[in-house]
Structure 1
Amino acid sequence: MAVLCALMGFASISTDFYLPAMPTIAQALHADAGAMELTIAGYLVGFSIGQLFWGPIGDRFGRKRPIGVGLVLFVIGSIGCATAGSPAIMIGLRLVQACGACSGVVLSRAMVRDLYGPERSGQMLSTLITVMAIAPLVGPFLGGQVLALAGWRAIFWLLVAIGVITGIGLATVPETLPVERRSAKGPGAALRDYALLLRDRRVLDCAMVGGFYYVGIYAYVAGSPFAFITVHHVSAQAYGMLFAGGIVAIMLANMTNVRLLPRLGTVRLMRIGAIASAGSGSLLALSAWTGWGGLWGLVLPCFIYVGASGLIVANSMARAMSHRPQQAGAVSALLGAAQYGSGMIGSGSLSFLADGTSRPMASVIALAGLAALLGVAINGAAQGRRG
C-alpha cells in the first residue's frame, strides 16, 4: 500500500514541489510567466501520451517491470531539469520526466483493480488517493523551504532521490498480474483496443467527465503561483500553505466518498462533485473579474473546486474499469490520458492568455467546471436510456 501511494503520488510531486519556485526559475532562466506555464503543459504532453503506451505494456508484461523502466526515465528527466539552462531545455526534460512518472500512476491504478476486483476498487482508489494526498499537501510547502535554503535546482535533486527510493521500494512488492492473466496482444492490437474503448459509450462518458474537470485543475496548478505570489504578493512559503488547503479539501472529499459510495453509488457522487466544481468555478470567475474578496475571494473557491476531485476522479475511473475488467490497464491509461491531456489544454491556454492578472485562470476553471457538469448530465441521460 505504501508503494502504491508513492507511485500514484508521482503525478503530484513532479509538479507540486516546484510550483513555489516558478517565479524564481523564470527570473533565473530569463523567461516570462507564459514560458514557465509551458513547462507544465510539456509535462502533461508526456504524461498523457505516455499512459497510452504503459497501459497495454502493463497488461502484456505485468506491472512491476514497466514501472521500473518508468522510474529510470523519471530520474533521468529530473537530473536534466536540475541542470537545465534554458526554458526550452526544461520543457523537453519535463516531457521525459513525465513519460517515466506516468508509468507508476497508470499501472498502480491497474494494480488496485488486480488486487481488489470491481466491487472494492472504487473505495480503495479513494483510500489511496486520500493517503497519497500527503505528497501534494507537503509538496509546495517543502518546495518553498528547499527554495529558501538551497535554491530551485535542489528541488529537482530531491525528486531524483524520491525516484531512487521508490524504485527500491518497488523491488519489495509482488507482481499483481499473474502470467496466465496477461494479454498476448502486440502494439497493433493495443491500438485497436483503444479504438474499441473509444466506441464504448460507458467508458467514453467517464473519460469526458474527468477530462473536462482536469482542464480546470491544471489551470489552477499552472496559474495559482502567479495569481497568488505575483499578483497578491504571497510569499513562496505561504503559497505552499495555501496550496495545502486545497489538498486537505481533496482528502476530506475522498474520505466522504469512501463512506457514501455504498449508499449513493458512483453516478450520484460524480454529479455532486460536478455541481460543486461548476458552482465554485463560477464564483471564482466572479471574484477575479470584480476583485470581490481579494486574495480569499480566489483561494476559497479554488479549495472547493480542487476538493471536488475526491468525488469525480476515483468514481469515474472505477466505473470505467468495471465495464472492461480484462483491459484495466488500457482503460486506466485511456482515462488518464484524457485527464492529463485535458490538463494540458488548461495549463497551455494560460501561457497564451496570461495578462498579469488572475482572470485567465479563473475563467478557464469556470468553463471547465461547467463542462464537467454538462458531461455528468450527458452521462446520466445516457445511463437512463440504457436502463
Structure 2
Amino acid sequence: MPLRILLILGALSAFGPLAIDFYLPSFPALARAFGTDVEHVQQSLAAYFIGLAIGQLLYGPLADRFGRRMPLLVGLLLFSLASLACALAPSLEWLIAARFVQALGGCAGMVVSRAVVRDMCDPINSAKVFSQLMLVMGLAPILAPLAGGLLLSTLGWPSIFICLTLFGLLCMLAVALWLPETLSKDVPVAPLRGALGEYRRLLGDRPFLGNALTGGFAVAGMFAYIAGSPFVFIELYGVPAAHYGWLFGSNALGFILAAQLNAWLVARHGPSYWLRRAVGFYLTCGLALLLVAIAKPLSLWPLMLPLFGCIACLGILLPNATASAMAGQGRHAGSASALLGSLQFAIAASAAGLVGVLHDGSAWPVAVVIFACGVLSMGFSLFTRWAERGTTGVPR
C-alpha cells in the first residue's frame, strides 16, 4: 500500500481515540465554565460513545452503496462543523449534543478506513496494514492528553475543539486530493434498502461473527483497564497523578511494539495462526493478573507485569481479528466494517461500565473483568475454528 494512503488511513483511524483522549484534561475547566461538576461533564463523553456505536452502523451501507469517498467526505465535514460547535458551546447541554454529532461524523473515518484496507489488500497484507494502523491507537492515549493539557493551560478549553476542527478539515482535504475510490465498479451496487438484511447475513456468518467477537472481548478488556487503572494506580497504590501517564504509556508502548512485530509475523503463518496464539497468551496473562489481584500485593509491580502482557498482546490479537473478520466480505466490506466496529465498541463500553459496578476499593474488579474477557475471547476463538471447518471450500 502506498505510504501516502497509509498515512491518510492512519489519520482517519485516529478520530475515535483523538476526540476521546484529547479533551480529557479539560473536564475540570469545563465544569467551572458551565457551573457544574465533573460527573455531569462526563455525560459529553457518554454521548460520544453512543454516537460512535450508532454512526458506524449508518456509514457501512452508505459506503457500500455510494463508494468509500463520498460518505467519508460528508462525515469529515460533519465532524469539523460539530467540533466548531463544541468550541462555541454556551452550555453543557449544547456541548453534549455537539459531541454526539461529532461522533456521528468522526466514525466515518473508522468505518471507511477498514473498508479501504479490505478493498486494497488480501488477508495477510490486511493484517500487516492493520498492525501499522495500531500505532495510532497506541500513541493517541499517550500524546493526546499531553497535547490537550498544554492547549488547556495556554489557550483554554475551546482551543482543543478548534484543533479538532482543523484536524477534520485537513483530513477532508487529504481525502479529496489523494485518496482514490477503492470500491470496485465491477461488482453490483448494494441497495440501501437491503442494509438490515446485510447485517442479518453478517450476524449469521459464523466465521465473521466469531472473529469479530474474539477481537471485541479483547478490546473490552482494554477498556476495563482504561476505566479502572486511574483508581488502581493513583488511589490504591499511591502513584502520583503526574506519574500516571508514564505507567499508562509503558503499556501503550508494549501494544505498539507488538503490533509492529505482528506485521512481520503474519508474513510467515497468516493472521489466523497468530490470532489463536495471541488469544491464549491474553487469557494466560489475564489469569495471572486475577491471581495477583486476589493476593492483594503491597506493591503495584506484581500487577503491572501480567497487565503489561495483556495490553501488549492486543497489538497482535486485534489486527489479526480484524483482518480475519473482514476477509471474504468483498463488496460488503463497508457493512462488515460498520458491524465489526459497533459490536466491539458496544461490548467494550459495557465492560468499562462493569468495572464501576463491581468497584470495591481493590484491584479485583479490573482483574476479574479482564480475565472474563479473556475467557470469552478464547471461547469465540474456538467457536470460529469450528465454524471455519464447517465452511470448507468457502474462500475467506
TM-score by length of 2: 0.85
**Structure 1 CA distance for aligned equivalents of residues 343 and 145 of structure 2:** 25
1:185 aligned residue (187, 190, 213): 190
**Structure 2 CA distance for aligned equivalents of residues 36 and 209 of structure 1:** 33
Cα gap change, 1:309 to 1:26, in 2 (>3 Å): farther
Q: CA deviation at 1:311?
A: 1.7
Number of equivalenced pairs: 386
- For 1:110, the aligned partner's letter is A
**Structure 2 CA distance for aligned equivalents of residues 244 and 233 of structure 1:** 18
Cα gap change, 1:157 to 1:214, in 2 (>3 Å): same
- For 2:243, the aligned partner's letter is A
User: Is the Cα–Cα contact under 8 Å of residues 53 and 346 in structure 2 kept in the other structure?
Assistant: yes
- For 1:291, the aligned partner's letter is K
- For 1:255, the aligned partner's letter is Q
User: Is the Cα–Cα contact under 8 Å of residues 202 and 208 in structure 2 kept in the other structure?
Assistant: yes
Q: CA deviation at 1:65?
A: 2.0
Determine whether 1:361 maps to 2:370.
no
2:228 aligned residue (195, 202, 223): 223
**Structure 2 CA distance for aligned equivalents of residues 99 and 171 of structure 1:** 20
Secondary structure, aligned partner of 2:174: helix
Instruction: Name stretches of at least 5 consecutive residues in structure 2 with no aligned partner.
Output: 1-5
Q: CA deviation at 1:186?
A: 3.0
Q: Aligned residue for 1:254?
A: 259
Instruction: Name stretches of at least 5 consecutive residues in structure 1 with no aligned partner.
Output: none
1:8 aligned residue (6, 13, 17): 13
Q: How does 1:179-328 map to 2 (within 5 A)?
A: 180-181=185-186, 184-234=189-239, 237-292=242-297, 294-328=299-333
User: Is the Cα–Cα contact under 8 Å of residues 321 and 332 in structure 1 kept in the other structure?
Assistant: yes
Q: Deviations over 1:250-269 (max 9, x none)?
A: 22111221111132322221
Secondary structure, aligned partner of 1:162: helix
- For 1:336, the aligned partner's letter is G
Q: Aligned residue for 2:3?
A: none
Cα gap change, 1:321 to 1:235, in 2 (>3 Å): same
Q: How does 1:144-183 map to 2 (within 5 A)?
A: 144-177=149-182, 180-181=185-186
Worse-matched range after superposition: 20-29 or 359-368 = 20-29
Report percent identity of matched pairs: 36
Worse-matched range after superposition: 113-122 or 24-33 = 24-33
- For 1:327, the aligned partner's letter is H
Which has the higher Rg, Structure 1 or Structure 2? Answer: 2
Cα gap change, 1:62 to 1:237, in 2 (>3 Å): farther
Worse-matched range after superposition: 162-171 or 48-57 = 162-171
Determine whether 1:67 maps to 2:61.
no
**Structure 2 CA distance for aligned equivalents of residues 19 and 116 of structure 1:** 35
2:125 aligned residue (98, 120, 135): 120
Q: CA deviation at 1:297?
A: 4.1
Q: Deviations over 1:17-57 (max 9, x none)?
A: 23455577668764466x66655443232212211111111
Q: Aligned residue for 2:113?
A: 108
Cα gap change, 1:383 to 1:336, in 2 (>3 Å): same
**Structure 1 CA distance for aligned equivalents of residues 269 and 334 of structure 2:** 27
**Structure 1 CA distance for aligned equivalents of residues 147 and 167 of structure 2:** 13
Q: CA deviation at 1:384?
A: 4.1
- For 1:192, the aligned partner's letter is G
Secondary structure, aligned partner of 2:178: coil
Q: Deviations over 1:214-240 (max 9, x none)?
A: 222222233333443455554555333
Q: Deviations over 1:283-327 (max 9, x none)?
A: 334444543253434444333222222222211221122222221
- For 1:203, the aligned partner's letter is F
User: Is the Cα–Cα contact under 8 Å of residues 5 and 132 in structure 1 kept in the other structure?
Assistant: no
- For 1:130, the aligned partner's letter is L
Worse-matched range after superposition: 324-333 or 359-368 = 359-368
User: Is the Cα–Cα contact under 8 Å of residues 112 and 121 in structure 1 kept in the other structure?
Assistant: yes
**Structure 2 CA distance for aligned equivalents of residues 385 and 65 of structure 1:** 38
User: Is the Cα–Cα contact under 8 Å of residues 138 and 244 in structure 1 kept in the other structure?
Assistant: no
Secondary structure, aligned partner of 1:308: helix
Q: CA deviation at 1:130?
A: 3.0
Question: What's the Cα RMSD here?
Answer: 3.0
Q: CA deviation at 1:114?
A: 2.0
1:341 aligned residue (346, 355, 358): 346
Worse-matched range after superposition: 46-55 or 74-83 = 74-83
